[in-house]
A and B are shown apart, each in its own frame.
Chain A
Amino acid sequence: MSSHLDYSLLIPELILAGSAALVLFADAFRVELRLNRRLIPWLAALGALVAGAVSLAYLDTSDSFAELLTIDDFTTFFRVLFTAIVVVLILGSHEYVERNVRHIGEFYALLLLATVGAIYMSAAQELITAYISIELLSFSLYVAVSLTLADRRSGEASLKYVLLGGVASAMLLYGLSLIYGVAGSTSYAEIHEALSGGTADFEWALVLGLALIVGGLGFKASAVPFHMWTPDAYEGAPLPITAFLSATSKAATFALLLRVFGGPLLPVIDDWQWMMASIAVLTMAFGNLIALQQSNIKRLLAYSSIGQVGFMLMAITAISQDTSSALLLHMAGYLVTNLAVFTAVIAVYNRTGDERIVGFRGLAETQPYLALVLTAGLFSLAGMPLVAGFATKFILFQAVASEGFLWLSVVAVIASTLSLYYYLQVVRQMYLYEPDGDATRWRPSLTSYVTTGGLLAGVVLIGIYATPVFELADGAATALFA
Chain B
Amino acid sequence: MDRLPLPAQFDRIIMTGGLVASLALAPLLLVLVVLLAVDEISAPELVFWLVAAIVIAGALGTVLLPNVVYAALSLVAALLGVAGVYLLLGSEFLALAQVLIYGGGVVILLIFGLMLTNATDDPIVTDGAQKPFAAIVGLLLGGVIVAAAYDAEWGATEATATSLRDFGELLFGDFMVPFIIIAVLLDVALTGAYLNARRDREPVASEPPAEPSSGGGGQPS
Contact residues of A with B, CB < 8 Å? 1, 3, 5, 7, 10, 14, 17-18, 20-21, 24-25, 28-29, 31, 65-69, 102-103, 106, 109-110, 113, 116-117, 120, 128-129, 132-133, 135-136, 139-140, 142-143, 146-147, 149-150, 155, 158, 174, 178, 181-182, 201-205, 207-208
Count of CB-CB pairs between chains A and B under 8 Å: 127
Stretch of B4-12, B117-125, B150-158 contacting A (4+ beta carbons < 8 Å): B150-158
| B178 at interface by CB-CB < 8 Å | yes
A103 near B177 (CB under 8 angstroms)? Answer: no
Q: B204 near A: Cβ within 8 Å?
A: yes
B203 touches A102 (CB 8 A): yes
Main DSSP-derived SS at the A contact region = helix
CA distance A251 to B195 in the complex (A): 28
Q: Is the CB of B148 within 8 A of A204?
A: yes
Cβ-defined contact, B195 with A143, below 8 A: yes
In the bound complex, residues from chain A placing their C-beta under 8 Å from that of B147 are: 204
Interface mask (B174-207 → A, CB under 8 Å = 1, otherwise 0): 1111100110110111011001100001011110
Question: B215 at interface (Cβ–Cβ under 8 A)?
Answer: yes
Kindly provide the distance from the CB of A135 to the nearest chain B CB, expressed in whole angstroms. 6
Q: B177 contacts A66, CB within 8 Å? A: yes
Contact (Cβ within 8 A) A18 B184: no
Q: CA of A128 to CA of B155 in the docked complex: distance in angstroms?
A: 24
Q: Which chain A residue lies CB-closest to B208?
A: A28
Query: Is B92 among interface residues, defined by CB-CB distance under 8 A?
Result: no
Please name all residues of chain B whose beta carbon is closer than 8 Å to the beta carbon of A201 when the two chains form the complex: 152-153, 155
Please determine whether A208 and B195 come into contact, CB atoms closer than 8 angstroms. no
Closest Cβ of chain A to B184, distance in Å, is: 6
A68 to B171, CA, bound (A): 13
Write out the residue numbers on chain A whose beta carbons fall within 8 Å of the beta carbon of B216. 21, 25
In order of increasing CB-CB distance, the 3 nearest A-B pairs are A143-B192, A28-B208, A201-B153
Given A68-B174, A68-B177, A208-B145, A140 contacting B153 (CB threshold 8 A): no
Q: Which chain B residue shows the least CB distance to A186?
A: B175
Contact A17 B219 (CB under 8 A): yes
Tally of B interface residues using CB under 8 Å: 42
A158 and B201 within 8 A (CB): no
Distance of A109 Cα from B155 Cα, bound (Å): 48
Query: Which residues of the partner chain A approach B185 to less than 8 Å between Cβ atoms?
Result: 132, 135-136, 139
Q: Contact at A139–B177, with CB atoms within 8 Å?
A: no
- What A residues does B173 contact at CB under 8 A? 3
Establish whether residues B191 and A205, one from each chain, have CB atoms under 8 Å apart when the complex forms: no
How long is the Cα–Cα vector from A168 to B75 in the complex, in angstroms?
21
Q: In the assembled complex, how far is the CB of residue B133 from the closest CB belonging to chain A, in whole angstroms?
A: 14
Contact A7 B181 (CB under 8 A): no
Please give me the residue from chain B that is nearest to A201 by CB atom. Answer: B153
Q: Say whether B1 faces chain A, with CB atoms less than 8 Å apart.
A: no
Q: How far is the CA of A31 from the CA of B205 in the complex (A)?
A: 7
User: How long is the Cα–Cα vector from A155 to B198 in the complex, in angstroms?
Assistant: 13
Residues of B within 8 A of A (CB): 144-145, 147-149, 151-155, 173-178, 181-182, 184-185, 187-189, 191-192, 195-196, 201, 203-206, 208-209, 211-212, 215-216, 218-221
Q: Bound complex: CA of A21 vs CA of B213, how far in Å?
A: 8
Structural contact, B151 and A113, CB atoms closer than 8 A: no
Q: Which of B153, B175, B181, B216 has the most CB of A within 10 A?
A: B181
In the complex, the answer to whether B181 meets A146 with C-beta atoms within 8 Å is no
Please name all residues of chain B whose beta carbon is closer than 8 Å to the beta carbon of A28 when the two chains form the complex.
204, 208-209, 212
Look across to chain A and name the residue whose beta carbon is closest to the beta carbon of B193.
A143
Selected from B144, B152, B181, B218, the residue in CB contact (under 8 A) with A120 is: B181
- 8 pairs from A and B in contact (CB 8 Å cutoff): A5-B176, A25-B212, A25-B216, A31-B205, A66-B177, A103-B195, A136-B185, A203-B151
Question: Which chain B residue has the least Cβ–Cβ distance from A31?
Answer: B205
Extra A-B contacts (6), CB below 8 Å, given A5-B176, A20-B215: A3-B174, A14-B220, A25-B216, A28-B209, A150-B201, A202-B151
Asked whether, in the complex, the Cβ of B188 is within 8 Å of the Cβ of A140, the reply is yes
Give Cα distance in the complex from A399 to B147, angstroms.
Answer: 38
Please measure, in the bound complex, the distance between the C-alpha atom of A178 and the C-alpha atom of B144, giving whole angstroms.
13
Contacts of B219 in A (CB 8 A): 14, 17-18, 21
The minimal Cβ–Cβ distance linking A58 to chain B, given in whole angstroms, is: 16
Q: Are A69 and B192 in contact (CB under 8 A)?
A: no
Other-chain residue from A102, A110, A136 in contact with B181 (beta carbon distance below 8 A) = A136
> Using Cβ atoms and an 8 Å threshold, which residues of chain A touch B221?
7, 14
Alpha-carbon distance between A5 and B179 when the two chains are bound, in angstroms: 14
What's the nearest-Cβ distance from chain A to residue B116, in Å? 15
How many angstroms from the CA of A461 to the CA of B195 in the assembled complex?
Answer: 42
Are the CB atoms of A202 and B204 closer together than 8 Å? no
Residues in B whose Cβ lies below 8 Å from that of A155:
196
Q: Knowing A7-B220, A143-B192, A146-B195 touch, does A1 contact B152 (C-beta < 8 A)? A: no
Bound-complex Cα distance A208 to B149 (A):
10
User: Which residues of A sit under 8 angstroms from B203, Cβ to Cβ?
Assistant: 102-103
**A106–B191 contact, CB under 8 A?**
yes
CA gap between A181 and B148 in the complex, in Å:
12
- A1 contacts B174, C-beta separation under 8 Å: yes
Q: Smallest CB–CB gap between B147 and chain A, Å?
A: 6
Contacts A103-B203, A136-B181, A139-B192; is A205 near B208 (CB within 8 Å)? no
Asked whether B188 lies within 8 Å of A158 as measured between CB atoms, the reply is no
Task: Specify the chain A residue showing the minimal Cβ separation from B188.
Answer: A139
A120 to B178, CA, bound (A): 10
CB distance from B157 to the nearest CB of A (A): 15
Task: Tell me whether B206 and A31 are in contact (CB under 8 A).
Answer: yes
CA distance A398 to B162 in the complex (A): 52
Q: Which residues of A contact B195 (CB under 8 A)?
A: 103, 106, 143, 146-147, 149
Report B211 CB to chain A, min CB distance, Å. Answer: 7
Q: Is the CB of A128 within 8 A of B175?
A: yes
**Contact in complex: B177, A205 (CB < 8 Å):** no
Q: How far is the CA of A17 from the CA of B192 in the complex (A)?
A: 17
Cβ contact within 8 Å between B174 and A24: no
